Amino acid sequence: MPITIDSDIRKAKTLPSSYYTNPEIFSDLRRRFANHLHFAGHQSQLDGQTAIPIQHMGELIGEPMIMTRSDRIRCISNVCTHRGMLVSSTECSAKSLKCPYHGRTFGLDGTFRSMPRFDNVSDFPSPEDNLKEFVTASWKGLIFTGVGNSSSEGNFQELRKRLEWIPIESFKNDPSRNRSYEIDANWLLYVDNYLEGFHIPYVHSDLNNTLDYDSYRTELFEGGTLQIGIASEGEPSFDLPESSPDFGLRVAAYYYWLFPGTMLNFYPWGLSVNLVIPLSVNRTKIIYHGYVGDPLMLGRGAGGNLDKVELEDQEIVEATQSGVESGSYDRGRYSPTMETGIHHFHRILTRTDD
Ligand code: FES
Ligand SMILES: [Fe+2]
C-alpha cells in the first residue's frame, strides 16, 4: 500500500521502518537511480590524463563508464563491444583505448578503431561496435552523467544562484582526500542523517564548536536541499562577494544534497563530494572526492576534520539501523524547524511519479 508523507510537517510521520529494512522497497528505490544524473567527477581529475574509469557509475546504475578528454569531456561505456570485458581499469594518457582481452581499440570518443583477426566479418564494423556515449551535463568543471533523460538543469540553477562566484572550475583534484567506506546501514539512514544539522551538538562536539547552531539554516528546492552552516566567532568563513545572496553572513559551509545520493560540500578550502551508493538493504558505500581551491584554508573550520565527522555519523547511522529493524519502532515525527530537509527527502521518495 503506497505511503504518503503529509505535506504539513507538523502533521507528518516519518518513513515507515520497512523503507529501511524491506528488500523489495530497497530494490524499487534503487531502480529510480537510473532516472537521475549522477556526479561523475571534476575536470581536474583528467589533468595529465585522457581517460579515467568511473567505477562508481557501475555501482550506482549498473553502467561502468570511462570519463575521457579529447575535443571535449565525455562519459562513455567501459564495456567492450566484443564480448563485454571492461576496457579500462586504470587512468591513462593514451590517444586511444585498448581492450585488454583481445585488443579491440577505440578512440577517446568511443568510436571503434581496430580489431585483430576480424578481416572477413560481414557488416563490420558498424555503429554498434562503438562504445556508447552517455549524456553529460557540466557546471564549472563538475561533470554529471546518467542513463535516463533526466535533466540536472534545475539543480544547476540552484547552484548557480548561490555559488557562481566560486572558481570551482580551477579547483584541483586531491587524491589524498579520496575515501571509500562501507557501512552496515540502509542508504536512506545515511541520507536522513546528512539532511539535518539537528544532531550536530549531540554527535559532533568539535564541529559544533565551529558552527553557530542557532543560525544553521536549511533551504529546499525541487530535487534537493541546501544547508548553510554559519561560522562561530573566530572560525573561518567564506569571503562572500556583494553579488552573493548571502553577502554579510559568515558562511562556514554550503551543504548541497541532490536526490538521490549526491552531496556537494563547499568549504572555504574547496569542495568535498560524498556519493552514497546503496549496496543492499542494510549495506551502503560512501565515496569521498576532494577538490582543493585554497590550500591555506585546509584543516580549519567546519570542513577541517571530515574524517572525524564521518566516523561519528557512521556510528550513529549503524546504530539507528539496528533500531529501525526492531519490532518496537515503525514511524516517528519531524521537528518542524530542524528536520525540513528530511521531510522533503521523504516526500520525494514516496512520490509515485518519479
Ligand atoms: S572483449 Fe574486448 S576485445 Fe574481446
Ligand atoms: Fe553528522
Across the 354 residues of the chain, what is the mean pLDDT of every consecutive 10-residue run? 90 98 97 94 98 96 97 98 98 98 98 97 98 95 88 80 96 97 98 98 96 97 96 97 97 97 98 98 98 97 96 98 97 98 97 72
Q: Is 104 in the pocket of ligand 1 (CB under 6 A)?
A: yes
Gap between the Cα atoms of 265 and 291, Å rounded: 10
What pLDDT does 198 receive?
97
Of the bound ligands, which one is closest to the alpha carbon of residue 98?
A: 1
Taking CA atoms, 174 is separated from 179, 181, 237, 288, 292, in Å, by 11, 18, 21, 11, 7
Atom 4 of ligand 1, nearest CA residue? 102
Ligand nearest to the CA of 200: 2
What pLDDT score does 177 carry?
Answer: 96
Instruction: For residue 260, give the nearest of 141, 333, 344, 334 by alpha carbon.
Output: 344
* Partner residues linked to 190 by β-bridges: none
Pocket test for ligand 1, best of 82, 98, 128, 130 (most atoms within 8 A of CB): 82
Q: What is the pLDDT of residue 305?
A: 95
Is the CB–ligand 1 distance for residue 83 below 6 Å?
A: yes
Nearest atom, ligand 1, residue 115 CA: 3
Cell readout for 218 is 536549511
**Which residues have a Cβ under 8 Å from the Cβ of 354 and sit 6 or more positions away?**
32, 35, 348
Overall pTM > 0.85: yes
Would you identify the CATH topology of the domain 1-34+155-354? Naphthalene 1,2-dioxygenase Alpha Subunit; Chain A, domain 1 (3.90.380)
Strand duo 38-42 + 142-146: pairing: antiparallel
The closest alpha carbon to 81, from 146, 116, 125, belongs to 125
Neighbours of 155 (CB within 10 A): 23
Q: Domain map of the chain by residue range?
A: 1-34+155-354, 37-149
pLDDT at 151: 67
Identify which of 88, 104, 113, 121 to mutate to test ligand 1's pocket (most ligand atoms within 8 A of the CB): 104
Given this model, what pLDDT does residue 196 score?
Answer: 98
Q: Is the CB of 80 under 6 A from ligand 1?
A: yes
CA-nearest residue, atom 1 of ligand 1: 83
Q: Write the CATH number of the domain with boundaries 37-149.
A: 2.102.10.10
Closest C-alpha residue for ligand 1 atom 3: 102
**C-alpha dist (Å) from residue 139 to 46, 154, 168, 179, 259:** 16, 12, 9, 24, 17
CA of 101 to the centre of ligand 1 (A): 5
Q: What is the pLDDT of residue 271?
A: 98
Residue 155: its pLDDT value, please?
79
- Residue 113 C-alpha to ligand 1 middle, in angstroms? 13
What's the pLDDT score for residue 2?
77
What's phi and psi for 167, nearest 5 deg? -75, 65
- Report which ligand 1 atom has the smallest distance to the Cα of 85: 1
